[in-house]
Every structure is written in C-alpha cells, then in structure tokens.
A and B are shown apart, each in its own frame.
Chain A
Amino acid sequence: MIVAVLILILSTALFFFYFQVTCQKILGRQFDREYFQSIANANRLEFPSLRKSLEDFGAPVDYSRLRMMLRCDFLALTYLLKNAANVNQRYTYDERLLILYFRWQFLSLAVRRLLKLGENTAILRLTAVLQYFANVVGQRVNAVKFGNLTAADYLLNL
C-alpha cells in the first residue's frame, strides 16, 4: 500500500519533470540568427521589454498588467504561427506541445502568485516560449521572398 502510494507520487512528479525537460529541450533549439526582435517590434509585442525589466531590475510590472501582456503576446504569436507564411495553416506538434506548456506555466504563475512563491521563474519560462514562437515566425517570414527581397527586408524598406 505505502509502496504503491510512493510509486504514484514519484511517477506523477517524474511525468511532469520529463514534460518540462522535453519542452525546455525544444525551446533550446538554436536559430541561425535572432528573429524575435524584429517580429516583436513589427507587432508591438511586449515580452522582450518584460524580460529585460525582469533581468535588469528583478521585479516585473504589476501582476494584472503582466498577465494581460503575456496573454496578448501569446494570442498574437499563436495567430502568426498558424497564419504567417505557413502553407499548411496549422501548428506543428512541437508547437502544440509548447502551447500546452505555456498554458501550464500560465496556471503555475497564478498558483505561485497565490502561494507567494515568487513568480520570476514562471515569467521567464513564459517569455522563453514567446521568444521561441517569435523566432519560428521570423524564420518562416524570412524564408518567403518578394522578388529579390525577403519579407523582413521588404517590411524594413517600407
């Protein structure tokens, strides 16, 4: 009985551990250059400044605004992931996994806030997911050419 309870608790914990590690390994994918900044600028996304403020000053802006910023960036980026320069008009399975991971971290952020455990780790994880999404979108957009110009060059020349 005790052994079974122990196995249940440990294996559930390990399940979440492996889920998190898998997502972080996917997030660790190297891009040939950083595309996220141009995507963030073009779409007025706020996660880079949020991340910077967290890294520089250690404290984010107020909580309700923070949630709103993350949620808006997430919605914008998932829309772009699906529709910007995506021939199939659907998410890949790793993107789906990361969307699930984002939602889980978002929930974890609320729980951490409630239990006063410190939210910075969860916020950094959330911004990492958003940065990855922005990089993927940027990479896709960069691959599309308009004549001799890439989409990014075209937008910069407007």
Chain B
Amino acid sequence: MDNSIASYVLQYAGSSLEAGLLLYLGWGRQCKKQRAVFFGLFALLIAGAGRDYTAYQFGLRSPQYFYVYWSTDYLLVISAFLLVWLFFRRACLCEEKMWRYIRLSLGFIFFLVVGISVLSISRNQDHLFTYFTIEFNQNLYFTCLVLNTLLYLLLQQIESTDDQLGLLVCGVGIQFAGPTATLALLHLTSGQHFAESLATSVMRLCTLGMLLVWAYAIVRVRESTIKVTGRRIGEPALLEVTAD
C-alpha cells in the first residue's frame, strides 16, 4: 500500500513538473531554442496521459492497459533516442563536418539495435509482445545511455561552453541509467514481482530526477548567464543578487 502511494506521488510529481516546465518554456518562448527538451517533455506528458486515461477507463489490470503501457514505452524509448539525436545536433552546431558523420552513425546504430532485438525474439516467439518490448527497450535504453556518455565526452573534448547542455545531458544520463539497470534486472529475474515493482519505482524516480536537473538547468543556468552578461564593471555585486 505504502509502496503504491509513493509510486503515485512520484508519478504525479513528475507529471506536474513536466507540465510546469512545458508551460515555462512556452511562456518564455524558448520552445525553439530548447526544442530537444520541449520534445522530450511533450513525449513524457503524452505517454503519461495515455496511460492514466487507459488505467482510469479500463483498470490497471486490464489487457488494454497492458498494451497501452508497453506501446507508450516504445514511444518513450524511441523519443529518448531522438532526444539524444537532438542534443548531439545542439553540441555540433558549429561542427557541421562532425555532425554529418555523427548523423550517419546514429542512424546505423538505431537499425543495428532493431536488428539485434528482432534476432533475439526469433528465439522467444511464445511471449512475443512482452519479450520483444523488454528486450528492445533495454537495448535501446542502453544504447541511448552509451550515446549520451559519448555525447558527454564529446562536450569535454570540444571544451563546450554550453553549461546548460552539460547539465541537460547529465539529467538524461540519470534518466537512462536507472531504467536500463532495472530493465536488465527484470530480464535477469524473468519478470519477478519484486523486480517489476522496483523497475516501476526506479523509472519514476529517475524521471523525476531528470526533470529536476532539467528545471535547474533551464531556470538557473540561463538566469546566471543573464546576470553575468548584464553586469557592469564597478557596479556593486549586491545589486544583482536575488534570494533563491
């Protein structure tokens, strides 16, 4: 009972934060500048709304919810891949040559993951939907995690001054690492109950963690940039300090 309450609290805190951040981006007309974040938040919100609606209409134990849950999970994992793609694009804005090479590699990696997942289900055709979903999601999440780490290393390599992107990438790393680990655990334990409930909680916790890091990156890092550039030499620092 306590576990499910905690799970609902995490879920609704996450949804509120998603909606709040989307509103903040829309209100500040930053959707174009932060299109990767906007896209990621939008995908999370749509998937969450779809799941909530199905749970409300048909119940948590209904087959409809089961299919909607795993189908939206597909969408989430594919949108996660696109999110990393968009972050790579942002990191390589001034490196067109590098971007062409990265774009090709990302496309190749995506089809490679699909191929590996299809190969692995050919051996487990009895539980086609569940097995493929878990296998495919685990593989793609892990790929996103590796790509995200490569992106982090790339940012260090090119000595990027985009602090905001650095924090956004860290947030995505937290979001990918937790679910990947729990999906692998789910795979190892053949979907036992404790692993299932752990996976649900960890996924929500990691999503919330990512959203908090994103919120910090968008609100605070942007603000500090404005403050630094807006400061005049010789002006007392006290004038620009605001209580957090």
Q: Are B142 and A140 in contact (CB under 8 A)?
A: no
Contact mask B154-174 → A, CB, 8 Å, 1/0?
000000000100110011011
Interface segment, A19-27, A66-74, A103-111? A19-27
Size range of the interface on A? 20 to 34
Q: Which residues of B contact A8 (CB under 8 A)?
A: 181, 184-185, 188
Q: Which residues of B contact A83 (CB under 8 A)?
A: none
Contact mask B192-213 → A, CB, 8 Å, 1/0?
0000000000000010000011
Contact of B100 with A by CB under 8 A? no
Q: Are A7 and B174 in contact (CB under 8 A)?
A: no
The tally of residues in B whose CB lies under 8 Å from a CB in A reads: 37
Query: Which B residues, 113 to 161, have Cβ-Cβ distances below 8 Å to chain A?
Result: 138, 142, 145, 149, 152
* Contact among A25, A32, A94 with B240 in the assembled complex (CB-CB below 8 Å): A32
Q: Are B212 and A21 in contact (CB under 8 A)?
A: no
**A25 and B167 in contact (CB under 8 A), knowing A14-B149, A15-B174, A18-B177?**
yes
How many CB-defined contacts (below 8 Å) exist between A and B? Answer: 87
> Which label, helix, strand, loop or mixed, suits the secondary structure of the A interface?
helix
How long is the Cα–Cα vector from A22 to B167 in the complex, in angstroms? 6
How long is the Cα–Cα vector from A8 to B142 in the complex, in angstroms? 10
**A11 and B180 in contact (CB under 8 A), knowing A32-B240, A136-B244?**
yes
Contact of B224 with A by CB under 8 A? yes
How long is the Cα–Cα vector from A139 to B185 in the complex, in angstroms? 45
Q: Are B242 and A143 in contact (CB under 8 A)?
A: yes
- A→B interface (CB under 8 Å): 1, 4-5, 7-8, 10-12, 14-15, 17-19, 21-22, 25-26, 29-30, 32-33, 85-87, 92-94, 97, 136, 139-140, 142-143, 150
Q: Top 10 nearest A-B pairs by Cβ distance? A: A18-B173, A15-B177, A32-B237, A11-B180, A8-B184, A11-B181, A22-B170, A7-B184, A14-B177, A4-B187
What are 21 pairs between A and B in contact, CB < 8 Å? A7-B138, A7-B142, A7-B184, A8-B181, A8-B184, A8-B188, A11-B142, A11-B178, A11-B181, A14-B145, A14-B149, A21-B173, A22-B174, A25-B163, A29-B224, A30-B224, A93-B216, A139-B241, A140-B244, A143-B242, A143-B243
